[in-house]
Structures are given as structure tokens and as C-alpha cells.
Structure 1
Amino acid sequence: MTAVFLVDDYTLRTVALGAVALGAVGGALGTFAVLRRQALVGDAISHAALPGVVLAYVLLGTKASQWLMLGAAVTGFAATLAVGGIVRTTRVKTDAALGIVLSVFFGVGLVLLTWVQRRPDASQAGLDRFLFGQAATVLRDDVVTIAVVGSLALAVVAVLWKQLKLLAFDAEFGASLGMRMHAVEIALTALLVVAIVIGLQMVGAVLMSAMIVAPAAAARQWTNRLGPMTLVAAGVGAAAGAIGAVASSEVERLPTGPTIVLVATAIVIGSFLVAPRGVLVRRLRARRARSRLAAHAVLADLAVLEDGHGGVAHGHPAATIGVMEEADATTALRGLEQDGLVRCDSEGNWSLTERGREEARRR
């Protein structure tokens, strides 16, 4: 029913397609930011894009999304250059420089936006949608722009794949091979700027960084290889965009941008829990490993006790074995019994089976 509704509803179809394209591009490019531990770069760029949007409107006198995105790209890229300049010329660390640039650029953007909104003409109305996002205003041309620009960005990633891989994992080794890693870093920054500015109208400057970080963070829990991680991140971003767009259309007055971000966050939390590298899976593996170690220790103790009785099968209470292990050995004994390595007699004493005896000798 929802699928039919999606096909028939022009607005929902447009928003969903734009969200899918945005999520896929943001997720794929965000992979490199997450691997380089520069998630805050996306936050700085997205907040620094706001003054560019307002300045583009003031200077060009148009609200065409292409020109506003261009303005956002200029100030977003300028913000990253400012961060690099601060780190190189002062003793301020990268995280502090990102915080400074983020705050200053976003503050300037809010001041400019307030000033423009107080002007007597009404032509500036709607600029605030770039602050929190307003997916309902996304048109077919905007979706085409997102798809085309995003596809070009992904094509650049494909061309620079080897260089970006070295940048993410071992930039110094790449430089030793003669690659211009600084230029590659600038190219990656430019790609992140592109991914962010194409999503400002839909998600907004405040939340756009989440579309860069969240899909990649979720994908990191499912694989430890760059190629699959990039594909999974793109898939997570696309799924979050589609689900968020549909969910916001089903609930009255539910904003699309924040809903998409919440869906992406839910996927991240789920990945942290149930993915192969997730919390629950790691704990389950650790529990199984402890159980195996306990079983091995109990098997060895039974062999020692048997040798102490002249190497003949002789049963021992679980409490006796537990004293040797300084723990309750009952659980381990039950597991070994299921594997056919030990047996329990009518009096509750445990002894090795022939198979268990061979297993103990082998270990």
C-alpha cells in the first residue's frame, strides 16, 4: 500500500528520491571522514555553509538552489582551509580549531540571516529552510541536481580510490610512494563539501553532518574492509533517506529531515548492538570463549584427578572439581556431558569418558 502511495504521490516520490540519493552520497563519502577520525569536519562544513547561502542570495539576488549551493560550497571549503591554517600557524589542536571555525561561521550565518529577514522586501523568505531543512520544498530539478552532482562526486571517489585508501589508512606511506597526499586530502575535503551542500535544503545545516557520520559509523560495525564498508554506508544512507521520507509523510507535521536523521541513528544503534562487531555479539563471543576455557580447565582437572587414582575411571563430585577451579564447575560439566566427554553416575560423581580421556591427553 505504501509503495503504491509512493508511486502516486508526486511530492513524496520527489522527496524520497532526493533523500535516497543524498543518503547514498553522504554515506559513501562519510566513510573516509570516519576512518580518518575527522567526523567533526562534516559538522564544521555544514555549519559554515549557512553564511554562504545568505551571501549568495544577497550578492546574486536569487533563491535558485544551484546558486545558493555554490555559495554554501565556497564558505564550507573556506572553513576547512581556515581550520588547516589555524592548526599550522598556531598551537591550537584540530578539534579546537574545528570548534572555533564552526562557531564563528555559524554565528556569522545566523547574524546575516537575521539581517536579511528583517529587510522590508519579502523575497528573502524561505532562506531559513537551509538552517533546519525543509524537504517539502525540494523540486524535481533539485533532485536532479543532487543526483548529478552526487554521481560526479562518487565518480571522483572511484578514480581516486587507491589514493583515498592510502589517505585513510597510511598517508605517510602514500607520500613515500610519490603521491601528493596533501592534494588528495584537499580533494576529499572538496567531496565532503559537495556531499553536505547538496543536502542542506533537505536536512539543514544543523543536522546534515549526521548524514555524513551515521551511515559510515553503522557500516563500520559490519565489515573491516574499505570497499564493502563504503557500499554498506551508501546503502544505510539510502535506506535511512527512503524510510525517513515515507515515515514523515505518514505522520502529520512530522519534519522529513530530522526523521531521516532519527532513522539513521536507529540503524546505528542497531548496528552497535547486533552487527558482527557489535556489543551484544562481542559479549556473546566472550561468554562462549570463557565457557570453552572453563570446559577445557575442567576436563584437564578430571584427567589430573584420574591420574591421582592410578589412571582408572573414578568419579568425583562437582564440588571437588569446583575447588580446583575456584568456581562452580557444574555448568562446564553439563556442557562436557552434552559433548560426550564426561559422564555422571547415579551418585552425582563425574568421570571422563574414553573420548574425554583422549581429548584431555590431546590438550
Structure 2
Amino acid sequence: MWNWIVAILSDPNTRWILLGCLLLGFSSGIIGSFTFLRKQSLMGDTLAHAALPGICIAFMLTETKSVGLFLFGALVAGIVATFGISWITRYSRIKQDAAMGIVLTVFFGVGVVMLTRIQHGASGSQSGLDKYLFGQAASMVMTDVYVMGGVCLVLLIACLAWFKEFKLVSFDPGFARGMGLPVAMLEQLILLLTVIAVVAGIQAVGVVLVAALLVTPAAAARCWTDSLALMVVLAGIFGALSGATGTIFSTLVPNLPTGPVTVLAATALFAGSALLAPRRGLLARRLRSIQAKSAYMREERATLQTLAIQRNQQERGEM
């Protein structure tokens, strides 16, 4: 196994893909922790699907196959989607989860229509847009890794700089508002960072699966700790491990896509965490339940024995 890994790392293209997936998983896990704690797990899925029309519009306007333009279009579409969600929730009685569902279906539907139109056009087969649906990590090059490194650095600096503010907004926005914090601006900042993470991961994982890298590592990390700081670190580590696992297995097994394997690796980490975590794991809860039941039965037996002894003593006293 070790020889296989050394052989994999000897290929420069594989090294770039591995590094890119590591950075993607790490950055997604960090910002995904705040999205998960704010109970906005659907937000990543919404922003990912909303990016598709932005990619299509970028190609229709320029008619060039440029990754930079595609990602810029996805970024603009994601920002528009966040403002759309905020506008719906602010000026209507629709709740945020319903607003996210509306934006997801509308944007993705428009994107599919545009993609179909492009694919039936003269240069549609050469557009390369289909890989953005399910991702194609094998197409990543050195410049893509530099972009992901920059995204990871921006997310890390932002989370360190506004960690206390993000913590208050995530757990108690009312208290944060009472302290005078700009809650609306902080919420929009978290959404903007989420958009950036989603856009960075589209090329590797695709719009369909990129949301899983935001939610699954954070959910796995939540099983192990009650500390937000430790949860963010663990989520980043779990995301990076998922990216590395997806890259290695897709390299070892022919015709195995990197993006879906990365998501499956993250799911396996979550399943293991949900099962084996010392406090929140299913096995630990079951063990505590058995121990509590055993302690209760021992107390009941001791109580019954005490009552029996007292009754015997009373009967002897009467005799």
C-alpha cells in the first residue's frame, strides 16, 4: 500500500490534484461548521445549484472555455442567490428554508435549460460545462491549486478574525444584536464565504455534490466535541482527509471519479463518528443506557432487600 502511495505521489499531476482536494476539503469543513451550526445545511446545496446558470451565462457571453470566467459567473450567481434568499425572507412570510428551496429549484431549473441550449448549439460539445455538474478533479492544474490555496487562506483568515462574532451569530443572534453587533452584515459575510467555498469546489466535486463537503465534515466533527473551536479544526481535518482519500482511491482504481469518492469518504467519516464518538456516538449512548439501566436495577434490588429485612424484623418483633 505504501509503495502504491509513493507511486501515486511521483506523478506531478496527481500531486496537484491531491493538494487541491486537500485544500478544498479543509476550507469547506471550516466554513461549513458555521453553516451547520446555524441550521442552514441546505444553504450550501442552494448556492451550489444556483452557480450553474452563472457558469452557463459566462459561456454564452464569451463563447470561450475559460475556467476563470466560469468560476466568476458562478460567484456572481451565488451572490445573487444569497440576496434573493434574504429578500424573500425579509419581505414575505416565507421562512428561510422554504426560500432556499425556491431559489434552488428556480436557479437550477434555469441552469439546466441554459445547459441544454448550449449543448445543442454549434460549440456546445466543446464547452466543457457538463463536468461542472458532477465535477472533474482530474482536470485541475497548478493554477487551480493556487486559486484553492488562496480561497483556503481567505476563509481561514476571515474565520480567525471574526471567530467570536461568528460564534455569537451562530448560537444566539438575538444576544449578538443586543450587544450592538451588525448581525445582518455578519450573516451576509458568512454566506459570502460559503459562496466562495462552493465556487472553489465546483470544478472538483460538481454542483450536485459540493454541498456534501460543507455539511458532512462539520456533522462528523460535531459528534466528537462541544467546543466550537475544536469542531472547526476537526471539520477541516475531516474534509482534508476526505479529499485525500478520494484522490488516492480514484487514482488506484481506473475510471473511479474523484468527486463522488471524496463525498463517500466524508460520509464514511461521519458514519464512524456517529457510531464511535465517546459522548454523542450511538455505541456510547447505548452503553450509557445499559449502565443506567443496570444501576437502576441494582438500586431497586437493594431497596427491595432493605424492605424485606425491615418486614422480617417487624414480624419478629410482633411475635
Identify whether the pair has TM-score above 0.5, normalized to the shorter chain.
Answer: yes
Matched, 1:290 2:272: no
Contact 1:164 1:184 in 2 (8 A): yes
Matched, 1:196 2:185: no
Higher fraction of helix: 2
Match of 1:303 among 290, 303, 306: 306
Listed as ranges, the gaps of 5+ residues in structure 2 are 315-319
* Alpha-carbon distance in 2 for matches of 1:174, 1:63: 45
- Structure 2 counterpart of 1:237: 239
Contact 1:132 1:204 in 2 (8 A): yes
Match of 1:118 among 117, 120, 134: 120
In structure 2, the CA distance between the partners of 1:120 and 1:112, relative to structure 1 (3 Å rule), is same
Contact 1:175 1:181 in 2 (8 A): yes
- Structure 2 counterpart of 1:22: 24
Contact 1:50 1:106 in 2 (8 A): yes
* Alpha-carbon distance in 2 for matches of 1:281, 1:101: 40
* Alpha-carbon distance in 2 for matches of 1:86, 1:294: 55
Contact 1:133 1:204 in 2 (8 A): yes
- Percent same amino acid among aligned pairs? 42
The alpha carbon displacement at 1:123 in A equals: 7.6
What is the CA deviation profile of residues 273-316 of structure 1, one whole-angstrom value per residue up to 9, with x for unaligned ones?
Answer: 111202221111111111111112212322332333349xxxxx
Please report the RMSD computed on the Cα atoms of aligned residues, expressed in angstroms.
Answer: 1.5
Contact 2:24 2:201 in 1 (8 A): yes
Of stretches 256-265 and 266-275 in structure 1, the one that deviates more from structure 2 is: 266-275
What letter matches 1:19 in structure 2? Answer: C
**Partner SS, residue 199 of structure 1:** helix
Match of 1:280 among 256, 272, 283: 283
Higher relative CO (Cα under 8 Å, sequence separation at least 6) belongs to 2
- Structure 2 counterpart of 1:252: 254
Contact 2:221 2:235 in 1 (8 A): yes
Contact 1:83 1:97 in 2 (8 A): yes
Contact 1:21 1:238 in 2 (8 A): yes
Contact 2:55 2:73 in 1 (8 A): yes
* Alpha-carbon distance in 1 for matches of 2:294, 2:64: 68
- Structure 1 counterpart of 2:145: 143
Contact 1:150 1:194 in 2 (8 A): no
Larger radius of gyration: 1
The alpha carbon displacement at 1:89 in A equals: 1.8
Contact 2:65 2:127 in 1 (8 A): no
- Structure 1 counterpart of 2:317: none
- Structure 2 counterpart of 1:42: 44
In structure 2, the CA distance between the partners of 1:122 and 1:205, relative to structure 1 (3 Å rule), is closer
* Alpha-carbon distance in 1 for matches of 2:159, 2:65: 30
The alpha carbon displacement at 1:17 in A equals: 1.0
* Alpha-carbon distance in 2 for matches of 1:70, 1:198: 10
Contact 2:119 2:125 in 1 (8 A): no
* Alpha-carbon distance in 2 for matches of 1:24, 1:63: 28
The alpha carbon displacement at 1:245 in A equals: 1.0
* Alpha-carbon distance in 1 for matches of 2:311, 2:125: 95
* Alpha-carbon distance in 2 for matches of 1:122, 1:170: 48
**Partner SS, residue 254 of structure 1:** coil
**Partner SS, residue 294 of structure 2:** helix
The alpha carbon displacement at 1:34 in A equals: 0.7
* Alpha-carbon distance in 2 for matches of 1:175, 1:283: 40
Matched, 1:209 2:240: no
* Alpha-carbon distance in 1 for matches of 2:62, 2:195: 21
In structure 2, the CA distance between the partners of 1:122 and 1:41, relative to structure 1 (3 Å rule), is closer
- Structure 1 counterpart of 2:161: 159
- Structure 2 counterpart of 1:84: 86
Runs of at least 4 residues of structure 1 off by over 4 A?
none
* Alpha-carbon distance in 1 for matches of 2:158, 2:64: 30
What is the CA deviation profile of residues 155-190 of structure 1, one whole-angstrom value per residue up to 9, with x for unaligned ones?
Answer: 111111111000110111111111101000000000
What letter matches 2:91 in structure 1? Answer: T
* Alpha-carbon distance in 1 for matches of 2:42, 2:124: 35
The alpha carbon displacement at 1:126 in A equals: 1.1
The alpha carbon displacement at 1:122 in A equals: 5.9
* Alpha-carbon distance in 2 for matches of 1:293, 1:107: 57
* Alpha-carbon distance in 2 for matches of 1:54, 1:209: 20
* Alpha-carbon distance in 1 for matches of 2:303, 2:288: 22
TM-score, normalised by the number of residues in structure 1: 0.83
Contact 1:26 1:234 in 2 (8 A): yes
What letter matches 1:12 in structure 2? Answer: T
- Structure 1 counterpart of 2:69: 67
Listed as ranges, the gaps of 5+ residues in structure 1 are 312-363
Contact 2:137 2:205 in 1 (8 A): yes
Contact 2:59 2:127 in 1 (8 A): no
* Alpha-carbon distance in 2 for matches of 1:105, 1:120: 24
